[in-house]
Structure 1
Amino acid sequence: MSNPSDAADVDEAIRRLLLLVPRMVGRVKRIQVPEALQSMALAPRHLSLLSCLLFDGPMTVNDLAARLEVAPTTVSLMVGDLSRKDILERREDPDDRRRRIISITDTMRPAITQWLAPGATAWRKALAPLTPDQRQLFVDTFHTYEEALAQEIGEQPPS
Protein backbone atom coordinates (compact mmCIF):
# COMPACT_ATOMS: atom_id res chain seq x y z
CA MET A 1 0.00 0.00 0.00
CA SER A 2 1.19 3.54 -0.79
CA ASN A 3 2.56 5.81 1.83
CA PRO A 4 0.28 8.89 2.28
CA SER A 5 3.30 11.18 1.97
CA ASP A 6 4.10 9.56 -1.41
CA ALA A 7 0.57 10.40 -2.59
CA ALA A 8 1.02 13.98 -1.38
CA ASP A 9 4.33 14.20 -3.27
CA VAL A 10 2.64 12.89 -6.43
CA ASP A 11 -0.20 15.39 -6.02
CA GLU A 12 2.29 18.23 -5.59
CA ALA A 13 4.16 17.15 -8.72
CA ILE A 14 0.83 17.05 -10.61
CA ARG A 15 0.00 20.58 -9.43
CA ARG A 16 3.36 21.81 -10.65
CA LEU A 17 2.98 20.07 -14.01
CA LEU A 18 -0.57 21.40 -14.45
CA LEU A 19 0.96 24.88 -14.26
CA LEU A 20 4.07 24.12 -16.29
CA VAL A 21 2.72 22.13 -19.24
CA PRO A 22 0.22 24.75 -20.48
CA ARG A 23 2.95 27.41 -20.29
CA MET A 24 5.30 25.16 -22.22
CA VAL A 25 2.68 24.39 -24.88
CA GLY A 26 1.90 28.09 -25.17
CA ARG A 27 5.56 28.91 -25.75
CA VAL A 28 5.92 26.18 -28.34
CA LYS A 29 2.89 27.57 -30.17
CA ARG A 30 4.51 31.01 -30.19
CA ILE A 31 7.58 29.79 -32.07
CA GLN A 32 7.38 31.88 -35.21
CA VAL A 33 6.72 29.89 -38.37
CA PRO A 34 9.10 31.26 -41.02
CA GLU A 35 7.41 33.26 -43.77
CA ALA A 36 8.37 30.67 -46.40
CA LEU A 37 6.28 28.05 -44.52
CA GLN A 38 3.32 30.14 -43.34
CA SER A 39 1.08 29.41 -46.32
CA MET A 40 1.84 25.68 -46.33
CA ALA A 41 -0.85 24.61 -43.81
CA LEU A 42 1.58 22.39 -41.91
CA ALA A 43 0.17 20.26 -39.09
CA PRO A 44 1.91 18.73 -36.04
CA ARG A 45 2.31 15.44 -37.92
CA HIS A 46 4.32 17.33 -40.55
CA LEU A 47 6.48 18.82 -37.82
CA SER A 48 7.41 15.34 -36.58
CA LEU A 49 8.23 14.12 -40.08
CA LEU A 50 10.31 17.20 -40.86
CA SER A 51 12.13 16.87 -37.53
CA CYS A 52 13.14 13.30 -38.37
CA LEU A 53 14.48 14.32 -41.76
CA LEU A 54 16.25 17.39 -40.43
CA PHE A 55 17.97 15.66 -37.51
CA ASP A 56 18.52 12.19 -39.00
CA GLY A 57 18.96 13.02 -42.67
CA PRO A 58 17.33 11.57 -45.78
CA MET A 59 15.63 8.21 -45.41
CA THR A 60 13.08 5.88 -46.96
CA VAL A 61 9.35 5.97 -46.33
CA ASN A 62 9.61 2.75 -44.31
CA ASP A 63 12.36 4.22 -42.12
CA LEU A 64 10.31 7.37 -41.57
CA ALA A 65 7.24 5.29 -40.72
CA ALA A 66 9.20 3.30 -38.15
CA ARG A 67 10.54 6.46 -36.52
CA LEU A 68 7.13 8.14 -36.50
CA GLU A 69 5.42 4.93 -35.30
CA VAL A 70 2.82 5.09 -38.09
CA ALA A 71 2.00 3.03 -41.17
CA PRO A 72 4.10 3.52 -44.32
CA THR A 73 0.93 4.51 -46.21
CA THR A 74 0.44 7.41 -43.77
CA VAL A 75 3.99 8.59 -44.40
CA SER A 76 3.56 8.19 -48.16
CA LEU A 77 0.51 10.46 -48.04
CA MET A 78 2.38 13.09 -46.01
CA VAL A 79 5.42 12.87 -48.29
CA GLY A 80 3.18 13.28 -51.34
CA ASP A 81 1.54 16.34 -49.79
CA LEU A 82 4.86 17.93 -48.80
CA SER A 83 6.44 17.06 -52.16
CA ARG A 84 3.66 18.91 -53.99
CA LYS A 85 4.48 21.93 -51.81
CA ASP A 86 8.19 21.62 -52.76
CA ILE A 87 9.16 20.99 -49.13
CA LEU A 88 10.32 17.43 -49.71
CA GLU A 89 11.88 15.63 -52.63
CA ARG A 90 12.03 11.97 -53.55
CA ARG A 91 15.01 10.56 -55.33
CA GLU A 92 16.04 7.11 -56.40
CA ASP A 93 18.04 5.06 -53.91
CA PRO A 94 21.38 4.35 -55.63
CA ASP A 95 21.55 0.97 -53.87
CA ASP A 96 18.02 -0.14 -54.82
CA ARG A 97 16.33 1.65 -57.70
CA ARG A 98 12.89 0.47 -56.50
CA ARG A 99 13.21 2.50 -53.29
CA ARG A 100 12.91 6.24 -52.94
CA ILE A 101 14.91 8.36 -50.52
CA ILE A 102 13.00 11.27 -48.99
CA SER A 103 14.76 14.51 -48.07
CA ILE A 104 14.03 18.16 -47.37
CA THR A 105 14.58 20.35 -50.43
CA ASP A 106 17.60 22.63 -50.35
CA THR A 107 15.27 25.59 -50.83
CA MET A 108 13.21 24.85 -47.70
CA ARG A 109 15.96 23.54 -45.43
CA PRO A 110 16.90 26.98 -43.99
CA ALA A 111 13.27 27.82 -43.09
CA ILE A 112 12.67 24.43 -41.51
CA THR A 113 15.91 24.66 -39.56
CA GLN A 114 14.94 28.14 -38.33
CA TRP A 115 11.50 26.84 -37.29
CA LEU A 116 12.70 23.74 -35.43
CA ALA A 117 15.93 25.07 -33.90
CA PRO A 118 14.42 26.77 -30.79
CA GLY A 119 12.70 23.57 -29.66
CA ALA A 120 15.70 21.38 -30.36
CA THR A 121 18.02 23.77 -28.55
CA ALA A 122 15.72 23.89 -25.51
CA TRP A 123 15.42 20.08 -25.38
CA ARG A 124 19.20 19.73 -25.67
CA LYS A 125 19.69 22.17 -22.78
CA ALA A 126 17.16 20.28 -20.66
CA LEU A 127 18.34 16.75 -21.48
CA ALA A 128 22.12 17.11 -21.81
CA PRO A 129 22.83 17.27 -18.04
CA LEU A 130 20.90 14.03 -17.45
CA THR A 131 22.36 10.56 -17.51
CA PRO A 132 21.21 8.23 -20.29
CA ASP A 133 18.99 6.40 -17.76
CA GLN A 134 17.45 9.68 -16.60
CA ARG A 135 16.77 10.73 -20.20
CA GLN A 136 15.13 7.37 -20.87
CA LEU A 137 12.98 7.75 -17.74
CA PHE A 138 11.93 11.21 -18.89
CA VAL A 139 10.94 9.98 -22.37
CA ASP A 140 9.19 6.91 -20.91
CA THR A 141 7.24 9.17 -18.52
CA PHE A 142 6.04 11.31 -21.43
CA HIS A 143 4.95 8.16 -23.31
CA THR A 144 3.10 6.86 -20.26
CA TYR A 145 1.38 10.22 -19.80
CA GLU A 146 0.34 10.30 -23.46
CA GLU A 147 -1.11 6.78 -23.28
CA ALA A 148 -2.93 7.47 -20.00
CA LEU A 149 -4.37 10.73 -21.32
CA ALA A 150 -5.59 9.02 -24.49
CA GLN A 151 -7.38 6.43 -22.35
CA GLU A 152 -8.86 9.10 -20.06
CA ILE A 153 -10.39 11.02 -22.95
CA GLY A 154 -11.58 7.89 -24.75
CA GLU A 155 -9.07 7.88 -27.59
CA GLN A 156 -7.13 4.94 -28.87
CA PRO A 157 -3.73 4.91 -27.12
CA PRO A 158 -0.75 5.17 -29.47
CA SER A 159 0.69 1.85 -30.56
Structure 2
Amino acid sequence: MRGLHADTGYLLYRLGLRSGQLFNAFLQESGLRLRHYAVLRFLATTEGALQRELSARLGYDPSAIVGLVDDLEKLGFAERRPAPDDRRSRIVVLTENGRAFLRDTDEAGRRVTNELLGPLDPAGREALHALLLRIAEDGLS
Protein backbone atom coordinates (compact mmCIF):
# COMPACT_ATOMS: atom_id res chain seq x y z
CA MET A 1 0.00 0.00 0.00
CA ARG A 2 2.93 2.31 0.67
CA GLY A 3 3.79 2.38 -3.03
CA LEU A 4 0.31 3.64 -3.92
CA HIS A 5 0.52 6.39 -1.31
CA ALA A 6 3.85 7.61 -2.65
CA ASP A 7 1.87 9.43 -5.36
CA THR A 8 0.39 12.59 -3.82
CA GLY A 9 -2.28 12.94 -6.49
CA TYR A 10 -3.49 9.40 -5.93
CA LEU A 11 -3.46 9.91 -2.17
CA LEU A 12 -5.60 13.04 -2.54
CA TYR A 13 -7.95 11.09 -4.78
CA ARG A 14 -8.30 8.30 -2.18
CA LEU A 15 -8.88 10.78 0.65
CA GLY A 16 -11.47 12.58 -1.48
CA LEU A 17 -13.28 9.30 -2.07
CA ARG A 18 -13.25 8.53 1.65
CA SER A 19 -14.52 12.00 2.50
CA GLY A 20 -17.31 11.62 -0.06
CA GLN A 21 -18.29 8.21 1.33
CA LEU A 22 -18.48 9.54 4.88
CA PHE A 23 -20.48 12.59 3.87
CA ASN A 24 -22.83 10.62 1.60
CA ALA A 25 -23.51 8.23 4.48
CA PHE A 26 -24.65 11.17 6.59
CA LEU A 27 -26.67 12.75 3.78
CA GLN A 28 -28.39 9.46 2.95
CA GLU A 29 -31.05 10.12 5.61
CA SER A 30 -32.14 13.27 3.78
CA GLY A 31 -32.21 11.58 0.36
CA LEU A 32 -29.46 13.89 -0.89
CA ARG A 33 -25.96 13.14 -2.10
CA LEU A 34 -22.74 15.10 -1.94
CA ARG A 35 -23.45 16.59 -5.39
CA HIS A 36 -26.66 18.17 -4.05
CA TYR A 37 -24.74 19.48 -1.05
CA ALA A 38 -22.12 21.02 -3.34
CA VAL A 39 -24.84 22.90 -5.25
CA LEU A 40 -26.37 24.15 -2.00
CA ARG A 41 -22.99 25.24 -0.63
CA PHE A 42 -22.25 27.15 -3.83
CA LEU A 43 -25.66 28.82 -3.79
CA ALA A 44 -25.02 29.90 -0.21
CA THR A 45 -22.13 32.04 -1.49
CA THR A 46 -24.16 33.92 -4.10
CA GLU A 47 -27.47 35.68 -4.66
CA GLY A 48 -28.28 33.14 -7.35
CA ALA A 49 -26.60 31.45 -10.28
CA LEU A 50 -27.49 30.39 -13.77
CA GLN A 51 -27.47 26.62 -14.23
CA ARG A 52 -24.61 26.91 -16.72
CA GLU A 53 -22.61 28.80 -14.07
CA LEU A 54 -23.28 26.01 -11.55
CA SER A 55 -22.09 23.51 -14.13
CA ALA A 56 -18.89 25.43 -14.85
CA ARG A 57 -18.04 26.26 -11.25
CA LEU A 58 -18.76 22.82 -9.82
CA GLY A 59 -17.43 20.82 -12.78
CA TYR A 60 -20.68 18.90 -13.31
CA ASP A 61 -22.24 18.10 -16.66
CA PRO A 62 -25.03 20.59 -17.50
CA SER A 63 -27.61 17.78 -17.72
CA ALA A 64 -26.63 16.63 -14.21
CA ILE A 65 -27.19 20.16 -12.88
CA VAL A 66 -30.76 20.15 -14.21
CA GLY A 67 -31.54 16.97 -12.27
CA LEU A 68 -29.81 18.17 -9.11
CA VAL A 69 -31.70 21.47 -9.15
CA ASP A 70 -34.96 19.61 -9.82
CA ASP A 71 -34.30 17.46 -6.73
CA LEU A 72 -33.47 20.50 -4.60
CA GLU A 73 -36.61 22.29 -5.78
CA LYS A 74 -38.79 19.30 -4.83
CA LEU A 75 -37.35 19.45 -1.32
CA GLY A 76 -37.86 23.21 -1.13
CA PHE A 77 -34.11 23.87 -0.74
CA ALA A 78 -33.67 25.86 -3.96
CA GLU A 79 -35.85 27.50 -6.57
CA ARG A 80 -35.56 28.83 -10.07
CA ARG A 81 -36.42 32.51 -10.51
CA PRO A 82 -36.26 34.92 -13.43
CA ALA A 83 -32.80 36.48 -13.68
CA PRO A 84 -32.93 40.15 -12.68
CA ASP A 85 -30.99 41.31 -15.74
CA ASP A 86 -32.57 38.96 -18.30
CA ARG A 87 -36.15 37.80 -17.78
CA ARG A 88 -35.67 35.01 -20.34
CA SER A 89 -33.00 33.39 -18.14
CA ARG A 90 -33.62 31.69 -14.83
CA ILE A 91 -31.30 31.75 -11.85
CA VAL A 92 -31.20 29.17 -9.09
CA VAL A 93 -31.39 30.57 -5.57
CA LEU A 94 -31.11 29.02 -2.15
CA THR A 95 -34.33 29.12 -0.11
CA GLU A 96 -34.59 29.62 3.63
CA ASN A 97 -35.22 25.87 3.97
CA GLY A 98 -32.00 25.28 2.05
CA ARG A 99 -30.12 27.59 4.42
CA ALA A 100 -31.57 25.76 7.41
CA PHE A 101 -30.52 22.41 5.91
CA LEU A 102 -26.96 23.68 5.47
CA ARG A 103 -26.86 24.90 9.07
CA ASP A 104 -28.05 21.45 10.18
CA THR A 105 -25.30 19.75 8.16
CA ASP A 106 -22.48 21.88 9.57
CA GLU A 107 -21.99 19.50 12.50
CA ALA A 108 -21.88 16.49 10.17
CA GLY A 109 -19.22 18.24 8.11
CA ARG A 110 -17.15 18.77 11.24
CA ARG A 111 -17.54 15.09 12.18
CA VAL A 112 -16.40 13.97 8.71
CA THR A 113 -13.42 16.33 8.89
CA ASN A 114 -12.54 15.14 12.40
CA GLU A 115 -12.65 11.51 11.29
CA LEU A 116 -10.46 12.16 8.25
CA LEU A 117 -7.99 14.39 10.04
CA GLY A 118 -7.92 12.50 13.34
CA PRO A 119 -4.17 11.78 13.15
CA LEU A 120 -3.33 15.52 12.92
CA ASP A 121 -3.03 17.96 15.78
CA PRO A 122 -4.73 21.41 15.44
CA ALA A 123 -1.59 23.01 13.97
CA GLY A 124 -1.29 20.21 11.40
CA ARG A 125 -4.95 20.62 10.45
CA GLU A 126 -4.50 24.36 9.96
CA ALA A 127 -1.38 23.83 7.86
CA LEU A 128 -3.09 21.20 5.71
CA HIS A 129 -6.13 23.43 5.20
CA ALA A 130 -3.93 26.38 4.20
CA LEU A 131 -2.02 24.25 1.68
CA LEU A 132 -5.17 22.73 0.19
CA LEU A 133 -6.77 26.17 -0.04
CA ARG A 134 -3.74 27.47 -1.91
CA ILE A 135 -3.93 24.58 -4.37
CA ALA A 136 -7.71 24.88 -4.76
CA GLU A 137 -7.64 28.62 -5.34
CA ASP A 138 -5.04 28.21 -8.05
CA GLY A 139 -6.35 25.06 -9.71
CA LEU A 140 -10.11 25.08 -9.18
CA SER A 141 -11.10 28.67 -9.80
- Taking the aligned partners of 2:95 and 2:33, their CA distance within structure 1 comes to 18
TM-score between both structures, scaled by the size of structure 2: 0.61
Verify: 1:66 aligned to 2:66, yes or no: no
5+ residue gaps, structure 2: 118-124
Amino acid aligned to 1:114 = D
Within the candidate set 26, 48, 51, 2:41 is matched to 51
Within the candidate set 65, 68, 90, 1:100 is matched to 90
- Taking the aligned partners of 1:111 and 1:47, their CA distance within structure 2 comes to 10
Q: Kindly name which structure, 1 or 2, has the bigger radius of gyration based on alpha carbons.
A: 1
Distance 1:110 1:100, change over 3 A: same
**Corresponding residue of 1:25:** 19
**Corresponding residue of 1:155:** none
- Taking the aligned partners of 1:11 and 1:127, their CA distance within structure 2 comes to 25
Distance 1:66 1:106, change over 3 A: same
Tell me the C-alpha RMSD between the 2 structures: 4.2
Q: Kindly provide the CA deviation profile for residues 26-77 of structure 1, in whole angstroms up to 9, marking residues without a partner as x.
A: 99449855xxx944x1012212212211234421101001012223222112
**Corresponding residue of 2:129:** 127
Verify: 1:89 aligned to 2:88, yes or no: no
TM-score between both structures, scaled by the size of structure 1: 0.55
> Across the two proteins, how many residue pairs are aligned to each other?
123
Q: Kindly provide the CA deviation profile for residues 73-118 of structure 1, in whole angstroms up to 9, marking residues without a partner as x.
A: 2211211121011111111111000111111111230221331466
5+ residue gaps, structure 1: 1-9, 144-159
